[in-house]
Amino acid sequence: MRKWVKYTIDNSREEGVVFKDKSRTAEEHAKDMDGYHSDVSYDNKESFFKKWYHHQDRSRIKTYSEFVQKYVDKKNKILSLASGRCAGELYLLDQGYNIVCSDLRELNIHRDAKQLFPEFRFLLLNTLNLELRQSYDVITAFSLIYLFDDDELKLFFKNVANSLNRGGALLIDPSGAADNESTLLLDEVFLKYQTCLKKMVLSLLGKPNSLVSKHHGFRRTDEEIIAKAKEAGFELEVVERNDFLMELRRIRILSMIFNRSGLARKIGGTLGRKMPYVRLFLFRLASH
Ligand SMILES: C[S@@+](CC[C@H](N)C(=O)[O-])C[C@H]1O[C@@H](n2cnc3c(N)ncnc32)[C@H](O)[C@@H]1O
């Protein structure tokens, strides 16, 4: 496991360097996700799915719900943890899945979703303190566990195991590629110095700014995740890896090249094999 730091520029501050801790409150998480604002896309289902599900920028969300559709039966009772905007979950609901969403806080987007999808159900749940009235056949937690240190991850798997029916399944994506030499080089060399360079250029142009170094979460290898899940009684049944360009796209110049050249995307797709942005695991609760 490695502490995952992200570097950004804050133009509203004076010259300097700012160190920020991991997001913990619902408000901080919402801010990290661009605010979870509601807008005109909530006027009808078509515009909602166009913006939040089918749009190319949301391919991660689509990959998650395709994974659910591939491995989960519509008759199963599903609980989605840390659902955020619930876009993939609403798509599944619309397809006839029996799915309940949850997160740390109920927001306007959830009330607006209820207007669009009367069968939408939302629970206030903290995954690290799960007290459920009923158990589920399937639990999903997409883009959540990168936030947890080892003790919290242990608690997460234990709580989920206690909330599943016998033989139930847990589907997760830790968010982001594994901890390895490639992602270390990406995070601590390319992305760090890309941001330092931007800071220098802005300062030279007379625009004061701060370099923000934020503890984003943790990167873990597949093996580390599988071992932690095993401690809580889970067996790995499926693992799928997707999107080998996204991590490389964080390097601005590469992103620009990928946008212009199919050949570059092909080469990037090969170079990025060690850095799948989406890693989907299906764990089954061993029934003994
Ligand atoms: C990166 S977002 C992912 C949202 C959504 N699943 C997605 O893939 O877009 C992380 C979400 O986890 C939620 N979260 C963070 N800690 C949590 C916890 N202990 N229990 C439940 N949800 C939590 C945050 O409120 C936030 O909505």
- Best mutation site among 144, 155, 279, 280 for ligand 1, i.e. most ligand atoms within 8 A of its Cβ? 144
What sign does the dihedral 65-69-71-77 (CA atoms) show? positive
Ligand 1 within 6 A of 147 CB? yes
Average pLDDT over residues 90-106: 97
Q: pLDDT per residue over 167-210, tens digit each?
A: 999 999 999 999 999 999 999 999 999 999 999 999 999 999 99
pLDDT of 90 higher than 60: yes
Count the alpha carbons within 13 Å of 2 in the hemisphere toward its beta carbon: 18
The CATH number that applies at residue 36 is 3.40.50.150
Q: What is the mean pLDDT of the chain?
A: 96
Return the exposure string of 57-70: e unless at least 16 CB atoms fall within 10 Å of the residue's CB, then b.
ebbbbbbbbebbee
Q: Is the dihedral of CA 269, 270, 272, 273 positive or negative?
A: positive
- For the cut 80, the answer to whether the pLDDT of residue 268 exceeds it is yes
| 286 pLDDT higher than 90 | no
Rounded distance, CA 15 to CA 112, Å? 41
Q: Is the pTM of this model over 0.85?
A: yes
- Residue ranges of alpha helices (H) inside 79-218 are 87-94, 108-116, 150-163, 181-185, 192-204
Tens of pLDDT along 14-70? 899 999 999 999 999 999 998 899 999 999 999 999 999 999 999 999 999 999 999
Answer whether 36 contacts ligand 1 (Cβ < 6 A).
no
Contact between residue 60 and residue 277 where contact means Cβ atoms under 8 Å apart: yes
pLDDT given at position 84: 97
225-261 per-position pLDDT tens digit: 999 999 999 999 999 999 999 999 999 999 999 999 9
- Element housing 166 (H / E): strand 164-173
pLDDT at position 288: 55
The response to whether residue 285 sits with its C-beta less than 6 Å from ligand 1 reads: no
CA of 170 to the centre of ligand 1 (A): 16
- CA-nearest residue, atom 4 of ligand 1: 84
Which residue type is seen at 141? A
- Pick from 75, 86, 87, 126: which is nearest to 104 by CA? 126
User: Would you state the pLDDT for residue 149?
Assistant: 98
Q: What is the residue range of 205's domain? A: 2-285
* Distance between Cα 268 and ligand 1 center (Å): 29
C-alpha 8: how far from chain center: 19
Both tokens assigned to 53: 């599900």
Residue 232, class by beta-carbon neighbours within 10 Å (0-12 exposed, 13-18 middle, 19+ buried)?
buried
Residue 98, pLDDT > 80, answer: yes
Residue 13 has pLDDT above 90, yes or no: no
Predicted pLDDT of residue 78: 98
Total domains in the chain come to 1
141 CA → ligand 1 middle, Å? 8
How many angstroms does the Cα of residue 29 sit away from the middle of ligand 1?
A: 7
pLDDT at 136: 97
Q: Are strands 210-219 and 2-10 parallel, antiparallel or unpaired?
A: antiparallel
Strands across the sheet with 2-10, in order?
Answer: 2-10, 210-219, 16-20
Question: What residue's CA is closest to ligand 1, atom 9?
Answer: 84
Q: Which helix (H) or strand (E) holds 112?
A: helix 108-116
pLDDT of 155 above 70: yes
| 269/13 Cα distance (integer angstroms) | 37
3-state secondary structure at position 164: strand
Rounded Cα distance, 136 and 162, in Å: 10
Largest CA distance in the chain: 66
126 lines ligand 1 (CB under 6 A): yes
155 lines ligand 1 (CB under 6 A): no
Q: Which two tokens stand for residue 245?
A: 């360009």
C-beta of residue 86 within 8 angstroms of C-beta of residue 36: no
Indicate the top mutation candidate among 103, 105, 109, 157 to test ligand 1's pocket, ranked by most ligand atoms within 8 A of CB: 103
